[in-house]
């Protein structure tokens, strides 16, 4: 079975938006995943977070059509 890295959280301070910080963080995470033999990275965004969705799409991420994700609030 090949490695799949899960990106749990990516937050950029509001003052640092539009400065390329998110791009640097994502590049570092993606490069780490490649170096460790991962075949894929997965992440999730809120449905309402259109800016994040656009950002990830611009980096080549696509919506997962194979799996539904479930959550249980405790």
User: Domains in the chain, start-ordered, CATH in brackets?
Assistant: 3-58 (3.40.630.30)
pLDDT tens, the chain, 74 aa long: 899 999 999 999 989 889 999 999 999 999 999 999 999 999 999 999 999 999 999 999 999 999 888 889 99
Q: Minimal CA–CA distance to 42: which of 2, 1, 5, 3?
A: 5
Check residue 64 and give its pLDDT. Answer: 92
| H or E element, residue 57 | helix 50-58
Check residue 17 and give its pLDDT. Answer: 87
Cα-based torsion angle of the residue sequence 26, 28, 29, 35 in order, rounded to the nearest 10 degrees: 140
The whole model's pTM is what? 0.85
């Amino acid at each position: 079975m090949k490695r799949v890295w899960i990106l749990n959280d990516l937050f950029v301070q509001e003052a640092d938006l539009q400065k390329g910080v998110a791009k640097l963080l994502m590049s570092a995470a993606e490069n780490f995943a490649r170096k460790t033999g991962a075949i894929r990275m997965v992440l999730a965004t809120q449905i309402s977070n259109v800016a994040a969705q656009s950002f990830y799409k611009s980096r080549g991420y696509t919506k997962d059509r194979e799996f539904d994700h479930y959550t249980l609030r405790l």
